[in-house]
Amino acid sequence: MCEAPGENDPRLERQWNILEEHYRQNKPIVARLLGLTDHTMFVDIEGIRGSIDHFVYGFTRQVPVEKEPSVERSKEEEEASFRQFVQQSWNDLTGKEILLRIVELDKAKNYLQLSQKLHIKVTATAEQFTIGHVYTGMIISINSARVIVDLDGIQGRFLSRKITPDQPGFLDLSTVLRLGQEIGVRVTGMQEDVRSHCPLILSLENV
């Protein structure tokens, strides 16, 4: 459920029109994460709030290698430590941007439901992509380490740092690319397991 827009607020009226257009065209939209309640994540899209049921997000917990033997902790202490880690991870998510698909909206009822699944049905397979060919995809995740691109439901990635001939050092692509942007990418290889979450190895064609 989303918050009711201000009455006669032209900015929110325009935003509702944008949401309706994205919904009709089944086009993903960028939202900002607000917080999690039970299994529902609430988001904000330029002043309009919506929700994602059964929100899924993977956390990677790095366990430091200790040079000296540590005191063995009890099961309760381990569980408490893990809960603290998860809570901190959720807190770190607040304010982050995410690409979503609108599942249902009703302006009159101030209702906006979204999904992390950008495609209703994926028919493409990794094997259909030819190494060396250029394809157009959409950026669905971007950070200082890598960029993940969606190609008709199949995902690929490339490094965020790019060598540029006209300036020394590397160009940080995370500063010039944006979430939801359509870009041209070249397939340079594939993961050994093409059924993996991100099977395509890509390179950026142009910035």
Calculate mean pLDDT across residues 27-33.
93
Q: What percent of the chain has pLDDT over 90?
A: 45
Radius of gyration (C-alpha) of the chain in whole angstroms: 20
Residue that wins the pLDDT comparison between 62 and 19:
19
* Residue 48 token pair: 């309009």
- What is the model's pLDDT at position 57? 65
For residue 31, pLDDT over 90 is answered with yes
- What is the model's pLDDT at position 4? 47
The reply to whether 126-204 shares the fold of 10-115 is yes
- What is the model's pLDDT at position 160? 87
Number of alpha carbons in the 13 Å side-chain half-sphere of residue 25: 9
Residue 123: Cβ within 10 Å count: 8
- What is the model's pLDDT at position 58? 55
Calculate mean pLDDT across residues 120-131.
87
For residue 5, pLDDT over 60 is answered with no
Q: How far is CA 20 from CA 15, 16, 33, 167, in A?
A: 9, 6, 20, 43
For residue 66, pLDDT over 70 is answered with no
Please give the CATH architecture assigned to the domain spanning 126-204.
Beta Barrel (2.40)
Measured over the CA atoms of residue 16, residue 18, residue 19 and residue 24, the dihedral's sign is positive
Measure the CA–CA gap between 142 and 136, rounded to whole angstroms. Answer: 16
User: Domain limits of the chain?
Assistant: 10-115, 126-204
* Residue 188 token pair: 């340079």
Tens of pLDDT, residues 165-184: 666 778 888 888 999 999 99
At 156, phi and psi to the nearest 5? -140, 170
Calculate mean pLDDT across residues 3-26.
84
For residue 83, pLDDT over 60 is answered with yes
Residue that wins the pLDDT comparison between 39 and 50:
50
8 A C-beta contact, residue 49 and residue 43: yes
- What is the model's pLDDT at position 93? 77
Please give the CATH architecture assigned to the domain spanning 10-115.
Beta Barrel (2.40)
* Mean pLDDT of the chain, nearest integer: 83
At 101, phi and psi to the nearest 5? -110, 135
Tens of pLDDT, residues 90-123: 777 788 899 999 999 999 999 999 998 888 888 7
